[in-house]
Amino acid sequence: MKIALAQLNPTVGDVAGNTQLVIDAIGTARERGADLLVTPEMALLGYPPRDLLFREGVVEEAEAAVGEVARAAGDMTVVVGHPRRCVETVRTIRNSASVCRAGDVLAVYDKRLLPGYDIFDEDRYFDPGKTSCYVDVSDRKVGILICEDLWRAGDVHTDRQYRVDPAAELVEAGCDVIVALNASPFILGKNQRHVELMREQATKLQCPIVVVNQVGANDDLIFEGRSTAVLPDGKASIVLPAWQPAIDVLNLDASASVTMPKVVPQEELFQALVLGVRDYCNKTNHKQVLVGLSGGIDSALTATIATAALGGENVLGITMPSRYSSPGSVEDSRTLATNLGLVRCDEISIEPAHQTLIQSLEQKLSEHISGLPDENLQARLRGVIVMAYSNALGALVLATGNKSELAVGYATLYGDMCGALAVLGDVVKTKVFEVAHWINREYQLCGFACPPIPENTLSKPPSAELRPDQIDQDSLPPYDVLDRIIDHYIDREQSVETIIQETGYETELVERFTRLIDRSEYKREQAAVVLKVSQRSFGRGRSMPIVMR
């Protein structure tokens, strides 16, 4: 028996385009002699569809597309993911997989376990399925699951517990193999946990498990692909590549174990963010992006990722020095632009506008403008310039702030927070440096002709350069300390008392910066879309009150 794994990159809402991806995959699988083809979860509509499911006609269009897939299937069995309309249920939509062959739909499986944690809100949209589903293919009984039905929240940190085990029920029903349709978003380290869970299940149930995962990025979510099959001995027999669409065929009767690819965290993070930027632009029809270059590490890494995603000919840089900017920062920006081959790197001083606004404000407010008002004024002037460039040239602005800054509000609303996409918004500062150093070491692997990020950018103390001799550590603790507090307070949801106990940090330090994290929620509510790469990212998956004590 040959099973084709179709690792596809659908666009949410593009039912016609997604259907064609499936039909093309059917043709490829047929050429390779496959008996069964499996697509990712919700392949015909794209995942996550969110409230698009409520728009009139959307679910019905996806259901109609199932008929097209069935007609294209021929004598092959195709399992395709889609939403479907239900009657006499609490919610009127289900997350489903249809089994198609020879123009007919032989069976329909409805996802039973609906995640309602982190970025998932499937229990908002879908009614849960009630029964198992399996189909006979080439004298094998193939059981069907959809994503959470297999993982049962075992791949994430959550207190959710399910009373049923759909995989075990399929084996009890006599299934010889289990296929699982997935749209599982990327998180650093999550794939390793997935493989461990597959090995545990396959050996415990003594049944091959085949997982087909979506690839690509939709909004804030990135999907790595890496579709995998594990045999009853716990060994992987097929692993599709990460970060790209692919189709491969598993022969269950002649399968051999394969070595799992080595995972380098910095490379994973780089590739994920590159894919996130590329697909965000491709799927919103933006050809070029714009990055404000400060000479600092965050803007340098953002521009480097954007160049890897789109090519330097599609990345515009602009440096906007003030009276406090060092000549070295401007030079570092120019060097970066040259190393990356950016299509342009313009320089516009904010000093004339800064002087004019200071004079106007001091005249009306009858007081000297300095300190935080002056610093934010400079940041907002830069925001005005990058947005004006965006309007004039049609380039999408990438926000450059990192997770450490967003956490404690060390960013200016309507200033350096301007942009459509926060590329590093889920990457703490210590990881920013780790990835930047890795790129410079492995520049050829990343597609660059030389180490792109200037050494001075990597070695100088981080600074916003909004006042004389300013460095970040004037206002913040060392980043390794701050990032550890962020990990405990945000990613682990620990209390102040537990953080103090586990880290040994001073009470005043922990209280001050956890308080800043909470007080900055209003800024994050207005921030650009953050590409998610960690367990707990800012955005849809972390819904916190703004007004709270």
Q: Which of 2, 41, 405, 465 is catalytic?
A: 41
Question: Rounded distance, CA 493 to CA 60, Å?
Answer: 40
Q: 534 is written with which tokens?
A: 């960690």
**CA-closest candidate to residue 306, choices 292, 319, 320:** 292
Q: 360 is written with which tokens?
A: 């106007």
Q: Helix or strand or coil: residue 296? A: coil
Q: Can you state the percent helix, strand and coil of the chain, rounding each to 5?
A: 40, 20, 40
What is the signed CA dihedral for 61, 64, 68, 70, rounded to 10 degrees?
140
**Backbone φ, ψ for residue 536 (5° rounding):** -130, 100
**CA-closest candidate to residue 534, choices 494, 490, 503, 499:** 490
**Backbone φ, ψ for residue 346 (5° rounding):** -85, 155
Annotation marks residue 362 as catalytic? no
**């069935």: which residue's tokens?**
70
Annotation marks residue 224 as catalytic? no
Q: Which of 2, 111, 190, 431 is catalytic?
A: 111
Say which residues have a Cβ less than 8 Å from residue 375's Cβ, sequence separation at least 6.
412, 464, 466, 467
Q: Is 107 exposed, middle or buried (0-12, 13-18, 19+ CB in 10 A)?
A: middle
Contact 81, 18 (CB under 8 A): no
Q: Which of 100, 133, 147, 418 is catalytic?
A: 147
Annotation marks residue 147 as catalytic? yes
Contact 201, 175 (CB under 8 A): no
Question: Rounded distance, CA 162 to CA 485, Å?
Answer: 31
Q: What residues are annotated to the active site?
A: 41, 111, 147
